[in-house]
A = this chain, B = another copy of it.
Amino acid sequence: MLKVTAVMGATGAVGTIIRELLEERHFPTQEIKFLASKRSAGTVLKYAGKDVVVEEATPEAFEGVDLVISSTPDEIAAEIVPEAVKHGCIVVDESAYFRMKEDVPLVIPEVNPDDVMKHKGIIASPNCSTTQMVQALQPLHAAGKLTHVNVCTYQATSGAGVGGNRDLMGASKAFLEGKEYQNEVFPHPIAFNVIPQIGSQKYRDTYPGYTSEEVKMIVETWKMLGDNTIKINPTCVRVPVANCHSEVISVETEKKITVAEAIELWKNTPGLVVMDDLDNGIYPMPCNCSGSNDTFIGRIREDVSRPNGLVFWCVSDNLRKGAATNAVQIAELLYQKIFS
């Protein structure tokens, strides 16, 4: 039985959706705790009809907590998550900080649910742009063994936090009124512009010219699919869209998979929705996928340029399946396997 569940970073963009999802899905915990930075402590939030006062995330706040769902920047996670583990909590962590550590499972419940039990206190939830791609790749890999993946992303500003969306809307409004706008988070104008950089070149030694977001899409995919022989070439681009990441994914498989077979595989995979009728202008887009917990696939075709190639378009709500939904699903999995 789960006595106390805590949401760490409860007032953030992802934390807000985590709270909604836990309530909506009647997450089986006797008590809920909302933790945040000192700045947000004292805020009163509703949960299942009751008022919950946000507490400051001090190490002592984890006393008596069974499970933590944590969504904070990497540098905060690096400090606070081990504190929670020390206090006996199991932590589902949204940050990138622990994802590639050997004793930390990186989990998408529809992809590698069994990995969850290998945890030593921390289970990491993957990068948003990686999650939706791996959901689409996994059934293809199981059926035909992936050899190569090329991916170009069209990433929403909500991926950069609430400041990202303030920049998009503020800058767009200013542009239309002929005014100047000072960005909070983006290094370049975001209104009516695209920025071909997400993250820094911090892995320049092994991946020269690639950004950290792009490297995440390689190494996290390998870890979750348990296969680092798949060749992956990502390019990550920020677009002036508030919410939902879109991706063009070209794959090659050892065994040929036809379009019809791929559609069948995806239709039979929980969490995936095929939306594909080009003649009638039907395909996923941010405008028709935002707010959903599923990942959507369209524009499915054989790659004319590769013998065993498929190309498709994949859209998912980056705050939901790309973050909050996946973390809550991991928490539900932990409940089933440990606490129920």
Binding site for B on A (CB under 8 A): 148-150, 152, 154, 168-169, 172-173, 176, 187-189, 192-197, 200-201, 207-211, 218, 231-233, 235, 237, 239-242, 246, 248, 250, 259, 278-279, 281, 283, 285-287, 298-306, 309, 311, 313
Cβ-defined contact, A299 with B235, below 8 A: yes
Q: Kindly list chain B residues whose C-beta atoms are within 8 Å of the C-beta of A148.
A: 305
Q: Which residue of B lies closest to A242 (CB)?
A: B192
Residues of B within 8 A of A188 (CB): 281, 285, 287
Known: A176-B176, A208-B301, A233-B303. A281 touches B192 (CB 8 A): no
Q: How many copies does the complex hold?
A: 2
A173 to B176 alpha-carbon distance, docked (Å): 7
* B209 close to A301 (CB less than 8 A): yes
- Given the interface contacts A210-B304, A304-B218, A305-B232, does A286 sit within 8 Å of B194 by beta carbon? yes
21 example contacts (A-B, Cβ-Cβ < 8 A) are as follows: A149-B305, A152-B248, A168-B192, A172-B172, A173-B176, A187-B281, A188-B287, A192-B241, A192-B242, A192-B286, A194-B239, A195-B285, A196-B283, A196-B313, A197-B278, A201-B278, A201-B279, A208-B302, A233-B306, A233-B309, A235-B299
CA distance A201 to B168 in the complex (A): 33
Chain B residues whose CB sits within 8 angstroms of the CB of A235 once the complex forms? 152, 248, 299, 311, 313
Q: Which residues of B contact A172 (CB under 8 A)?
A: 172, 176, 192
Smallest CB–CB gap between A177 and chain B, Å? 9
**Further pairs besides A148-B305, A176-B176, A194-B239: 13, Cβ < 8 Å:** A149-B305, A154-B237, A192-B287, A196-B248, A197-B283, A197-B299, A200-B279, A210-B301, A232-B305, A233-B311, A235-B311, A237-B246, A237-B248
Within 8 Å CB of A281, what residues of B?
Answer: 187-188, 197
- Chain B residues with CB under 8 Å of A196's CB are 246, 248, 283, 285, 298-299, 313
Contact of A150 among B154, B187, B250, B283 (CB under 8 A): B250
Complex: A306 Cα to B188 Cα, angstroms: 31
A240 and B240 form a contact (CB under 8 A): yes
Q: A168-B192, A193-B285, A194-B241 are in contact. Are A278 and B209 (CB under 8 A)?
A: yes
> Complex Cα distance A156/B112, Å?
39
Chain B positions within 8 Å of A311 at CB level: 209, 233, 235
